[in-house]
């Protein structure tokens, strides 16, 4: 582990920060305190080291204040949920994790339950405020992606408890979900962007572009964070370990391969954005307004990627 050198990360987009970053960070900490997240699992120092409170400001630099504050709550909830599953990893309690996951997702479909922990209280607060004005189709997609996010954490726990190293394909699918990029995209569409015609997202160019967007972060994050994961006993689900085991190569070589995979996904995203999306707008007969909205949406995905890179290489991780 000590000989591992972090590969140079491909960062094609400049990182920016929302001008309301300080206010959003303070708002997120206050919200975490009100939901009970700072009463046991976390304290404010943990939030600062994770970069959880300011993550939204870096990934959504153009969001208006109301959207930014709500996004900061969602992202800090996501960080807390990952930490909550960390407790199940520590105790190897698969049964408890499955029960927690099943009950948590139920809060997106019923109001009959009473929240019993900070993760549930957070979701009970966030869900109605976010989905109240969502079309039914978008609301269901967000619900499914949150369920996938929760289930993926259970799957990674199962791998850890069974000492099961996933194959590269399964790894990438699961890791993409545990980082929460799909549900973050749902929030970008609803809280930041003006809604685009439904047929845009059913076309091959947009499906391929979004697949590249979703899959770029996991390889880059794991190649950069391999040592940190090792220090916390979490290498089973880290892509460096997965590829080293699958290919029979050194951790260093696996990290380079994984990093190259993330680079390839980002270059594919950009190639599709430049070559296919303009033609798509013409093919679908999008007017000037919808065409501009589509280009802004893709810019917001670039901004999210840049902010995620900023978070991955945050000082607390560099010094860990």
CA atoms within 13 A on the CB side of 41: 21
Looking up tokens 């699992």 gives: 41
Distance between start and end Cα atoms, the chain: 13
Same domain, 203 and 157: no
Return d(Cα 101, Cα 81) in angstroms, integer: 10
pLDDT of 198 reads 87
Own/partner pairs for 8-12, CB < 8 Å, 24+ apart? 8/259, 9/220, 9/223, 9/224, 9/259, 9/262, 9/309, 9/312, 9/313, 10/220, 10/259, 10/262, 10/263, 10/266, 10/267, 11/306, 11/309, 12/266, 12/270
Same domain, 51 and 171: yes
Same domain, 69 and 152: yes
**Within a domain: 214:** yes
pLDDT of 319 reads 41
Same domain, 32 and 116: yes
Helices 168-178 and 204-231 cross at an angle (nearest 10°) of 90
- For residue 166, what is the DSSP state? P
Same domain, 106 and 77: yes
Return d(Cα 278, Cα 90) in angstroms, integer: 49
Return d(Cα 139, Cα 143) in angstroms, integer: 6
Same domain, 132 and 246: no
Same domain, 163 and 283: no
pLDDT of 315 reads 61
**Within a domain: 280:** yes
Is residue 17 a contact partner of residue 317, using CB atoms and an 8 Å limit? no
Looking up tokens 């973050």 gives: 184
Closest CA to 56 of 38, 74, 43: 74
Return d(Cα 3, Cα 186) in angstroms, integer: 39
Which of 184, 201, 226 marks a domain boundary?
184
**Within a domain: 13:** no
Length of the chain: 320
- Nearby residues of 133 by Cβ (< 8 Å), 6 or more positions away: none
Looking up tokens 């969602």 gives: 74
Same domain, 318 and 207: yes
pLDDT of 2 reads 54
Which of 154, 184, 214 marks a domain boundary?
184
**CATH code for the domain in which residue 307 is found:** 1.10.600.10
Return d(Cα 310, Cα 225) in angstroms, integer: 13
Dihedral sign from CA coordinates of 198, 309, 8, 220 = negative
**Within a domain: 102:** yes
**Within a domain: 15:** no
Return d(Cα 294, Cα 273) in angstroms, integer: 10
Which tokens hold the place of 168? 């590269």
**Within a domain: 77:** yes
Domain of residue 171 covers 20-184
Which of 184, 211, 227 marks a domain boundary?
184
Same domain, 197 and 156: no
The tens-digit pLDDT sequence of the chain (320 residues) is 458 999 999 999 999 999 999 999 999 999 999 999 998 788 888 888 888 888 999 999 999 999 999 999 999 999 999 989 988 888 899 999 999 999 999 999 988 889 999 999 999 999 999 999 899 999 999 999 999 999 999 999 999 888 888 899 999 999 999 999 999 999 999 999 888 888 999 999 999 999 999 999 999 999 999 988 877 777 888 999 999 999 999 999 999 999 999 999 999 999 999 999 989 989 999 899 999 999 999 999 999 999 999 999 876 444 43
Which tokens hold the place of 270? 């950009």
**Within a domain: 36:** yes
Same domain, 165 and 267: no
**Within a domain: 8:** no
- The total of structural domains in the chain comes to 2
Cβ atoms within 10 A of the Cβ of 35, count? 24
Same domain, 89 and 26: yes
Cβ atoms within 10 A of the Cβ of 116, count? 10
Same domain, 198 and 131: no
């Amino acid at each position: 582990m000590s000989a591992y050198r972090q590969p140079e990360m491909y960062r094609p987009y400049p990182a920016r920060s929302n001008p309301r970053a300080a206010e959003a960070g303070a708002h997120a900490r206050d919200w975490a305190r009100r939901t009970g997240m700072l009463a046991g699992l976390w304290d404010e120092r943990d939030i600062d080291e994770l970069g959880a409170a300011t993550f939204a400001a870096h990934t959504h630099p153009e969001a208006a204040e109301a959207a930014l504050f709500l996004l900061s709550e969602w992202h800090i909830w996501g960080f807390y949920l990952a930490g909550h599953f960390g407790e199940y990893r520590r105790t190897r309690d698969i049964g408890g994790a499955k029960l927690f996951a099943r009950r948590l997702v139920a809060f997106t479909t019923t109001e009959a339950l009473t929240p019993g922990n900070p993760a549930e209280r957070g979701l009970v607060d966030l869900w109605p405020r976010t989905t109240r004005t969502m079309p039914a189709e978008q609301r269901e997609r967000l619900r499914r992606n949150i369920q996938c996010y929760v289930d993926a954490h259970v799957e990674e726990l199962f791998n850890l408890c069974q000492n099961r190293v996933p194959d590269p394909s399964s790894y990438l699918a699961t890791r993409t979900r545990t980082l929460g990029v799909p549900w973050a995209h749902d929030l970008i569409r609803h809280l930041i962007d003006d809604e685009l015609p439904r047929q845009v997202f059913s076309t091959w160019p947009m499906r391929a572009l979004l697949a590249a967007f979703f899959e770029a972060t996991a390889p880059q994050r794991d190649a950069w964070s391999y040592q940190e994961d090792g220090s916390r006993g979490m290498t089973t689900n880290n892509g460096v370990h997965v590829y080293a085991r699958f290919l029979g190569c050194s951790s260093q070589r696996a990290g380079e391969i994984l990093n190259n995979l993330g680079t390839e996904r980002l270059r594919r995203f950009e190639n599709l954005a430049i070559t296919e999306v303009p033609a798509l707008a013409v093919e679908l007969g999008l007017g000037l307004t919808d065409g501009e909205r589509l280009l802004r949406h893709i810019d917001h995905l670039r901004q999210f990627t840049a902010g995620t890179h900023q978070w991955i290489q945050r000082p607390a991780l560099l010094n860990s």
